[in-house]
């Protein structure tokens, strides 16, 4: 919600980099993440200073600025679906002949014509940008129009609201301040948009909420939390599972978008068997599991993120406390190098039993169920 405003208000050079440098921090323009200067950040066994780590963050979280922008609503980018597809393929470095075969559009010369048309659009955009910059110097209202959020489902005159008007609208409907209750939701559609933009700030971008948790948050804003929930979905702020069991901010889905690259990374990694632990730092409860391929630990976290982990008690606590309250740790690798004929499944089962006996992750101490 805030990040698009941050992005569009940055300089062109900052936009291309995806971050802005401030006195004490580097700020990601794509998600608002702040990387503090003077700190060394570890990642995959490598230490980075802040100026390098902000670039690592952008690459790992968003792939690139290009990938972030190309996924924006077409009413925000001004690109048609056809132009969006071509830009993606151009960015991948494919030549005209390859693109023609992949898209089935005309001939290679047709693709060249599309390249030319996009260059014309670039020149026109530069001219328009200069005109708008000059206009800002004369008309201060032009530069203060509310920016549509990235996942907006409809972009129309509802967004023709200045920042000044936005402040006045919030003051009208939140007389005790935006941390206080909403007086009514019977208002103009453009006013609803401004109010919803404020309400959604109460939700965490990388968390999945149960319907009950979401309702509890919305109740603090307005008694009719159901209508707030419906409008948050309708306006593209929230998404949910079909059965209503899980809700999340649509902008939080970015971390799950790079599936193809994640699958390839998974395949390239060496497989190792062993026993792992998932620990709840809030109540110290643990879950002990084992896997022939410890890369599946990422899969366990993905299940929890999506609300589909088979251990319901663990899933409920994950939903309650959030991702940052849990640690994922390998307790011991299976050492099978000495005997090639070892029954790995049996050896792994015994290794898991050893840790179960040692840590006793049952009842109030853990999420495992004791076998009869």
Task: Answer whether 68's CB lies under 8 Å from 30's CB.
Answer: yes
Q: Which residues, other chains included, contact 61 with Cβ-Cβ below 8 Å and sequence gap of 6+?
A: 28, 30, 31, 33, 254, 255
CA proximity to 236, closest of 336, 159, 315, 333: 159
Strands (E), the chain: 19-21, 25-28, 34-36, 40-43, 46-49, 238-240, 247-249, 274-280, 286-291, 326-333
Residue-by-residue pLDDT tens, the chain, 372 positions: 445 667 777 888 888 899 999 888 999 888 888 898 888 888 877 888 998 999 998 888 888 889 888 888 777 788 888 888 889 888 888 888 888 888 888 888 888 888 888 888 888 888 888 887 777 666 655 445 555 555 555 545 555 667 778 888 999 999 998 889 999 999 888 888 889 988 988 888 667 889 999 999 999 999 999 999 999 988 888 888 888 888 888 765 544 344 334 334 444 445 678 899 999 999 999 999 988 777 656 667 766 876 777 788 999 999 999 988 999 999 999 876 545 556 777 888 899 999 999 999 999 999 998 876
Contact between 290 and 352 (Cβ < 8 Å): yes
Residues 6+ apart with CB under 8 A from 216: none
What's residue 1's pLDDT?
42
Q: Give the alpha-carbon dihedral of 171, 175, 178, 182, to 10 degrees.
A: -110
Tell me what pLDDT residue 157 has: 55
Tokens of 152: 């907006």
CA–CA distance, 11 with 78 (Å, rounded to integer): 19
pTM assigned to the model: 0.42
Handedness of CA 154, 155, 160, 164 (dihedral sign): positive
pLDDT at 284: 95
- Domains belonging to the chain, first-starting first, are 2-134 (no CATH), 157-254 (1.10.10), 270-365 (3.40.1440.10)
CA pair distance 175, 182, nearest whole angstrom: 8
The C-alpha atoms of residue 10 and residue 16 are separated, in whole angstroms, by: 10
- Gap between the Cα atoms of 277 and 259, Å rounded: 25
Residue 137 confidence (pLDDT) = 66
Strands (E), 137-246: 238-240
Tell me, what's the pLDDT at 112?
87
């Amino acid at each position: 919600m805030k990040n698009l405003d941050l992005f569009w208000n940055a300089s062109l050079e900052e936009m291309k980099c995806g971050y802005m440098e401030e006195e004490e921090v580097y700020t990601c323009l794509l998600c608002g993440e702040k990387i503090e200067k003077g700190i060394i950040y570890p990642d995959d066994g490598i230490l980075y200073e802040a100026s390098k780590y902000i670039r690592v963050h952008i690459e790992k979280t968003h792939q690139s600025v290009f990938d972030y922008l190309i996924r924006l609503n077409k009413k925000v980018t001004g690109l048609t679906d056809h132009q969006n597809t071509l830009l993606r393929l151009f960015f991948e470095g494919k030549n005209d002949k390859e693109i023609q075969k992949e898209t089935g559009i005309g001939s290679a010369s047709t693709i060249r014509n599309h390249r030319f048309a996009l260059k014309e659009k670039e020149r026109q955009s530069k001219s328009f940008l200069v005109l708008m910059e000059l206009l800002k110097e004369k008309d201060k209202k032009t530069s203060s129009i509310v920016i549509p959020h990235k996942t907006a489902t409809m972009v129309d005159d509802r967004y023709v609201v200045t920042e000044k008007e936005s402040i006045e609208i919030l003051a009208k409907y939140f007389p005790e301040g935006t941390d206080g209750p909403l007086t009514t939701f019977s208002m103009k559609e453009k006013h609803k948009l401004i109010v919803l933009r404020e309400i959604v700030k109460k939700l965490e971008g990388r968390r999945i909420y149960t319907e009950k948790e979401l309702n509890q948050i919305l109740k603090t804003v307005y008694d009719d939390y159901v209508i707030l929930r419906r409008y948050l979905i309708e306006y593209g702020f929230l998404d949910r599972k079909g059965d209503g069991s899980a809700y999340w901010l649509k902008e939080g889905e970015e971390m799950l978008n790079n599936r193809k690259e994640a699958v390839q990374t998974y395949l390239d990694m060496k497989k190792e068997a062993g026993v792992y632990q998932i620990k709840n730092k809030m109540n110290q409860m643990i879950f002990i599991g084992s896997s022939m391929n410890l890369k599946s630990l990422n899969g366990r976290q993905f299940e929890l993120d999506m609300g589909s982990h088979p251990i319901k008690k663990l899933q409920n606590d994950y939903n309650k406390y959030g991702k940052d309250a849990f640690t994922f740790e390998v307790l011991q690798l299976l050492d099978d190098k000495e005997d090639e004929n070892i029954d790995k499944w049996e050896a792994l089962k015994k290794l898991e039993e050893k840790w179960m006996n040692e840590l006793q992750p049952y009842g109030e101490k853990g999420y495992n169920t004791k076998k009869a």
